[in-house]
Amino acid sequence: MPGDALVGVSILYNWPVVGWCMGQIVERNTDGRLFKTIGGERVKVNFLIFYEIAQQTVKTVLRLDDYDSEWVLLASIDTTVPIEPGPEPGAHSSWACGPGPDVDADM
């Protein structure tokens, strides 16, 4: 399954408050009961991502349509997963940032 190939891959995720932050996909969610609300819509979580700076794993929805604007791949263990360029220089607040104490960790 293509989603399984992303487990172990590092990404940059564009948090609404803090900007681009590095994380690692630690698990693909296969539990149909795990949802979160995004823009008033109930959406199934598809990945769990660990952010070292926050020392927590975050329920995340990665959508292909949001690639390059909300998230990008940094590295791939499986060479069948395409690696695209990241954000333009200066487009992020920190490569190693994470959700701060005022940010909902389930974003």
Could you report the per-residue pLDDT of 6-21, keeping only the tens digit for each?
999 999 999 888 888 9
Report the pLDDT averaged over residues 84-93.
49
Range list of β-strands (E), the chain? 10-15, 19-28, 35-38, 41-44, 47-51, 56-60, 71-73
Pick the CATH number of 2-73 from 3.30.379, 2.30.30, 1.10.10, 3.30.420: 2.30.30
What pLDDT score does 3 carry? 86
The 10s digit of each residue's pLDDT in 26-85 is 999 999 899 989 889 999 999 999 987 788 999 999 998 898 889 898 865 455 555 455
